[in-house]
Amino acid sequence: MSKLIYLDNAATTKVKDEVLKEMLPYFTEEYGNPSAIYTFAQKTRKAVDSARSQVAELIGAKADEMYFTAGGSESDNWALKATADAYGNKGKHIITSKIEHHAILHTCEYLEKKGFEVTYLDVDSDGKISLEELEKAIREDTILISIMAANNEIGTIQPLAEIGRIAHEHGVLFHTDAVQAYGHIPLNVDEMNIDMLSASGHKFGGPKGIGLMYIRKGVKIRSFIHGGAQERNRRAGTHNTTGIIGIGTAAKLAGQDLEKNKAKQEELRNHLIERVLAEIPYSRLNGHKEDRLPGNANFCFRFIEGESLLILLDQLGVCASSGSACTSGSLDPSHVLLAIGLPHEIAHGSLRLTLSEETTLEDIDFVVDELVKIVERLRKMSPLYEDFVKRQA
Amino acid sequence: MYSEKVMDHFNNPRNVGEIDNASGVGTVGNAKCGDIMRIYLDIDDDKIIQDVKFKTFGCGAAVATSSMATELVKGKSVNEALKVTNKAVMEALDGLPPIKVHCSLLAEEAIHAALWDYAEKNNIVIEGLEKPVNDIEEKIEDEDY
């Protein structure tokens, strides 16, 4: 196989060298439990504290508003279930969108079974919610608005500050699933009126199995994992010290280079999008053209199916992903692509390429060159394309 | 996830293409679920399948099962071809992951649909052949999207 070209950074990222270097001593040398009283554990405790400041700083929060979890899914579950628990006597209505990650959608479905009502906002063809519809959906008994910062498939960034302002004006809590956005685009919990925010370490150069939750002071949600007094009684379990130090370091590095990395990835991504749309007929870009994650490109190629595309790319050493049914384990293609209005048959032919700061122009050009050939090859095999050509003739 | 045989038939699919004035053509599956197979048969006066071609829109397993199915019926009589089951296609491919078994069923149905078309065109009855279920969703609009 040729060299590996990893373009699935929305799925997970490589742990940065500096992150790993910071983590390593805490496995075998400074392995003390940060909750312990003796001197040996004090260095670990300090490292955990400093990581907490680092993850807070990136979003303009205070360190004592940050809680470490086992990942983005836990944070999303915590935000929704604990809000329902704590504010359920005030109201039973939650607002979210149709294109949220399943950690939100399936948790909402669970809460519906528990007697809550959920409004799933539509999105437009670019994947954006309508602020007007959001405001209209708010009721007397609405307790929470949970809208993702940026979509994991199509990369569309939501108007967070406006959503936060509307939530604030109506006295409704605002949670955002920022798993794809944290560390990639500027976020500020005060400017955006965010009350709760979920993020995950491995999406921005940190390790897997560590996530975080920002909970604004005054938001009264309680513990989701019971057992110990860690995280100021809000999240039991011995601290994942190596993970915490990893996510803290990754947040520090992301903050240092945020604008530079963003600009670099946007330039490469735009080059990728321009070339694909120009060189592959019957292709389209999914997601908003400008308001999208710096490293995200998502396409549909008509008349072909996504899994075949992924296998052929894999054979060239290119890692990518698709929203086709075959890659989701069900018969339905991605709920996100359907929500932006794509017909099933077109949604099956989607391809997501997500860049990192290590992606080069050569990588992108290689992938586009090959993609042109692969799409042509699969179309030659496609009865849909055959019919289309005959109808055009 | 896929056997070596599946990968081989996906990478080097046998009998891809169309047959002009085919004796029988069958298309099954639907684009909504992500799989469509079309089989073309060229059948001589002795009811022997002289040539077979296919086109498939679908995943790796869909392409591989179509390819294998064409190999299994080529040179066979119409009655022999009817006996090529999805199980035979799967076995010839050294198995398929459970969620891909429907692809092999589609391949069997595509052969049957092409045989049915042949029988209809020639006004003959092939014993044991049932009318295929037309499962094709309406065609994709040609409008630019």
**Once rounded to an integer, what is the mean pLDDT over residues A125-148?**
98
Per-chain mean pLDDT for chain B: 89
Amino acid at B69: A
Strand-pair category, B35-43 with B24-30: antiparallel
Per-residue pLDDT for B43 more than 90? yes
Q: Alpha-carbon torsion B15, B19, B22, B24, what sign?
A: positive
Distance from CA of B30 to the nearest CA of A (A): 9
Q: Which residues pair with B25 in a beta bridge?
A: B40
* B16-40 tens-digit pLDDT: 999 999 999 999 987 777 889 999 9
- ipTM of this complex prediction, to 2 decimal places: 0.89
Q: Beta strands of chain A (E only): which ranges? A: 5-6, 66-69, 93-97, 117-121, 142-146, 173-177, 196-200, 211-215, 283-285, 296-301, 318-319, 350-354
- Which residue in A has a C-alpha nearest to residue B15's C-alpha? A381
**B20 contact A CB<8A:** no
Q: How is A71-90 classified by DSSP, letter by letter?
A: -HHHHHHHHHHHHHHHHTTT
Q: How confident is the model at residue A393 (pLDDT cuts 50, 70, 90)?
A: confident
What is the pLDDT confidence band of residue A85, given thresholds at 50, 70 and 90?
Answer: very high
pLDDT of residue A329: 57
Nearest CA to B129 among B117, B140, B143, B121?
A: B117
Q: What average pLDDT does the structure give for chain A? A: 96
Collect all residues with Cβ–Cβ distance below 8 Å to A198 and sequence separation of at least 6. A72, A75, A76, A79, A175, A176, A177, A178, A179, A211, A212, A213
**Cross-chain residue pair A325–B34, CB shorter than 8 Å:** yes
Which pLDDT band, with edges at 50, 70 and 90, does A285 fall under?
very high
Chain B residue numbers with beta carbons less than 8 Å from the beta carbon of A334 are none
Q: Does B11 touch chain A (CB under 8 A)?
A: yes
**Low-confidence winner among A165-179, A183-197, A202-216, A220-234 (lowest mean pLDDT):** A220-234
Q: Are A187 and A178 in contact (CB under 8 A)?
A: yes
- Asked if B31 is an interface residue toward chain A (Cβ–Cβ < 8 A), one would say yes
Confidence of residue B142 (pLDDT cuts 50, 70, 90): very low
| Separation of alpha carbons A382 and A370, rounded Å | 18
Active site positions of A, annotated: 326
A381 → chain B, closest CA residue: B55
Chain A residues lying within 8 Å of B142, measured CB to CB: 388, 391-392
Task: Kindly tell me if the per-residue pLDDT of B8 is higher than 50.
Answer: yes
Please state the pTM of the whole predicted model.
0.93
Residue B130 near chain A (CB below 8 Å):
no
The DSSP code sequence of A49-77 is HHHHHHHHHTTT--GGGEEEES-HHHHHH
The whole-number pLDDT of residue A12 equals 96
How much is the pLDDT for B132? 79
Q: What's phi and psi for B127, nearest 5 deg?
A: -65, 130
| Tokens found for residue B50 | 């002289």
Task: Say which residues have a Cβ less than 8 Å from residue A218's Cβ, sequence separation at least 6.
Answer: none
Chain B hits for A351, CB-CB cut-off 8 Å, are none
Name residue B25's amino acid: V
Would you state the pLDDT for residue B134?
59
Q: Would you call B14 an interface residue with chain A, using a CB distance cutoff of 8 Å?
A: no
Q: Does A306 score more than 90 pLDDT?
A: yes
